[in-house]
Amino acid sequence: MPSKPYLLNKRPQNGGEHEVHSLYECEHLPNIEFRIPLGSFQNCIEAVSAAKQKFPGHVIDGCKFCSPQCHTR
């Protein structure tokens, strides 16, 4: 399975979480100025894990549209 680029929304959702999005698969991407590139990963599980390591003070969640298996809130 090829890796895909993921990004983190700089702006939190109403619940305070920052969402991880798949760059080429999501129809609900944040505006460009609110995107933080995370790198390329095999799946959202790896991308969310990387985001949590990179931003330990943030609540991180997967987008319910492009990363539903990682959407927990």
Residue 22 pLDDT > 90: yes
- For the chain, give the mean pLDDT: 97
Residue range 11-20: average pLDDT? 97
Structure tokens at 12: 């939190």
* Phi–psi pair at 36, nearest 5 degrees: -115, 110
Determine contact, residues 67/61, Cβ cutoff 8 Å: no
DSSP calls for 54-71: H-TTSEEEE-TTT-GGG-
Q: Tell me whether residue 69 is exposed, middle or buried, using C-beta atoms within 10 angstroms of its C-beta: 0 to 12, 13 to 18, 19 or more.
A: exposed
pLDDT at 68: 96
Categorize the per-residue pLDDT at 2 as very low, low, confident or very high, splitting at 50, 70 and 90. confident
Residue owning tokens 């959202």 = 44
pLDDT at 73 over 90: no
Average pLDDT, integer, range 32-39: 98
- Residue range 54-71: average pLDDT? 97
